[in-house]
Amino acid sequence: MACKHGISTLSLCMRNPGTVAKILQCARGDLVRWTTVCSYSTDVKSNTADVKPRTATSKYKVVVVGGGSGGCAVAAKFSSLGRQCAVIEPNDMHYYQPIWTLVGAGLKGFQSSVHRMGDVLPQSCEWIKEKAVQFDPAHNTVELSSGEKVQYDYLVVAMGIQLDYDKIPGLVEALENDPSVASNYHQRWVNKTFPAMQAFKGGNAIFTFPNTPIKCAGAPQKIMYLADEYFRMTGVREKTNVIYNTSLGVIFGVKKYAAALQKVIDKRGITVNYKHNLVEVNYKTKTAVFQLLGEDNKFVSFEYNFLHATPPMSSPDVLKQSPLVNDAGWVDVNKHTLQHMTYPNVFGLGDCTSLPTSKTGAAVAAQCGILHKNMLEVMKGRVPEPVYDGYTSCPLITSKSTCILAEFDYDGNPLETLPFNQAKERHLAYNMKAYIMPEIYWRVMMKGWWNGPALLRKILHLGFDRKPKLK
């Protein structure tokens, strides 16, 4: 019934485009004015009363480690198990991080991105409000920070990705002390971005991309396009150098969308420096040091007047020290079934896994349904079906009203849902990103009802969407 409700909502939107357009137009009118959302609070009160009393047992049929997008969505899918499904998650708050680009740009309020964890986790499941500190898959146990060991029949690892700000000397100090340094990737510093944009009077505005895998690989340049637009609006763009220093050798990993983004860059007069990896920040001299990858690792310094830093990222430390990971430190799962390569009763999804696809919320949504189905098959003694093709999506915001909606698979082949070219900047794509996707996240995905747009894609393409070729 839940899935049918989700489909009928989409069908209603398709049957009444005029009504939807009016709603979106009103919403945009209220929200796209930068000056109306520039002051907001990150003080969201927690409610520890939502933590249900622990039952006597420390043995569960399903244990989910992680209360992020993947963990909450999977727990919702197994909520029919009641107290036989437990979620290990120490945090009081749950964040919808994909919206932080718009929060950082002053287009959304921070509080729109946060709900109390107790309101997001399924009420029927047991919330273990502690940290997982050790995994012992050979004995089907997870050790908690209290020293207690939790046993499981089946384990889902969904711990997300670790932000390693401290790996760049001086970056944390700069974020703490320099108003012109910001980062949209952390709830503590996303609120610095728009005030820094407001205070900017010209000079070098630098945006960075680290030399590690990261979540939402398009985010470092999304905020750059929004800042560029804002600088034009405030009249400082003519005396500004907008600089994108990326450790990568391309602007985007999929050729179709890279070509579209290059047109945006050329039109805006943005400077892109490839193979430039941020390695140090000195806020007292307002300099950022970059290592030139592939050029004898030389170092070059840039003076900055505005700096948006994307931190290096890695698998959580507790996972790196466990038997669950591969040599690179990521949870070692089959890329088509999401089942662990060594322990058949362990599954993984999302940013902490070895899945060779872009780490996005859209990827997590697609993985949730496949993981649920395959884990049920394993519970019945059957072999999981290899169906995940690496689907992921990155809405590449290019202005406060336009977006390029990138969707692709493991091989970098476009896997677009809408029946037209999504590499073109469109208002519809922006409205989907800013207004529709957050509603789907909170009202559908967190209830366990959203498995990504595969079904919608098939309907819109009249059943002629390509079949994935799995290797």
The three-point CA angle 251-257-391 to 5° equals 105
Q: Any idea which residues carry the catalytic annotation?
A: 216, 394
Helix axes 2-15, 17-31, angle to 10 degrees: 90
Q: How far is it, in rounded angstroms, from Cα 282 to Cα 18? A: 52
**Phi, psi dihedral angles at 133 (to 5 degrees):** -115, -15
**Phi, psi dihedral angles at 186 (to 5 degrees):** -135, 140
Q: How far is it, in rounded angstroms, from Cα 73 to Cα 49? A: 22
**Count of beta carbons in the 10 Å neighbourhood of residue 134:** 13
